[in-house]
Structure 1
């Protein structure tokens, strides 16, 4: 008897329509903070986000992250139930919104516009208005596998005094380094890289006083690690 191959069942028209509607809601939400920025902040590849917005099948964890950074509920994103984004900024808008439901986190080096983000998410995540936050991208492999090249970081520049331990951005000559800093007895520091190829460094109290600590890394995001 001939063997029959199992074929993937075609999507029904109502399923296709539902996915398209979800994609349009996602597009609306992503535009409130900028589509490229939404992808970076949620750790979703831009091409994946584009497929979602065009009606492609969505991965729950990615959509949950996108809903969070865009400041909308999963119910609204999935089914249109609840409150939609309060405003939508056109792509290419040069002026960041003032007040309202959005905030802009600027780049540390003041390049480009910055990251448009939901003020609600900002306040819930960092318990502050965001004025001390700055954006930075990872360069090099010293913090691999925790942080990878081009991962997006948010630095709190109000946290420049190391207490206990944490992940910090340091200005060393013309470069910016990311290291785990641990406070040592006597006022010294221990600087650690997550990549085993980079040895730990012991910093005396006198040397520590000369280090320019930009701030503490309070958030990181990038493409999913595969």
Structure 2
């Protein structure tokens, strides 16, 4: 019983020290350092296993000094800041621990005069990780027209994962069609591939699944940002 009490006290003291020094929040700073890349890609970047990085990100373990130094050097951040949160860091200018990244808009043609000056949109990296996406695979598009009403309205913003462009029935995809970017719902119809509109007054676009198509799939829609005005 005495041994268990001593062990409990030791754990409490360890937690107190980690908290007072700022080390306990290492996982938050590491999430920021990832800058939107996947855990696997980051592990390769710093020369460590994905399992090790996963344990760091969950707060299960903390890196030894040599590994901390490698991460700091590979990611161009101060080792003191990475370990304790103290000092200056280039990553803190726009996004302390909220971890926002800027997703660029997909440019094909000018989509809207009123929005033409907006080049990117800030987005929370935790939502990106929730979808299992890498930041470099994402692009943003403006919705135009009413062909996808009531699901999508004119001037809504959609976040698209370009790594997922193979069509799956029922899902929404951004496509290039007739020199425009459109959002359509995919449906496999035997040898044909149909791009469906949620608004019934618009006809489906039918293409040969195995032949030349009049449209190109940009990627899978993973988030929809509604314009409430």
TM-score (norm: length of structure 2): 0.49
- The structure with the largest helix share of the pair is 2
- Higher RCO structure, 1 or 2 (CA under 8 Å, sep 6+): 1
For the pair shown, the structure with the greater C-alpha radius of gyration is 2
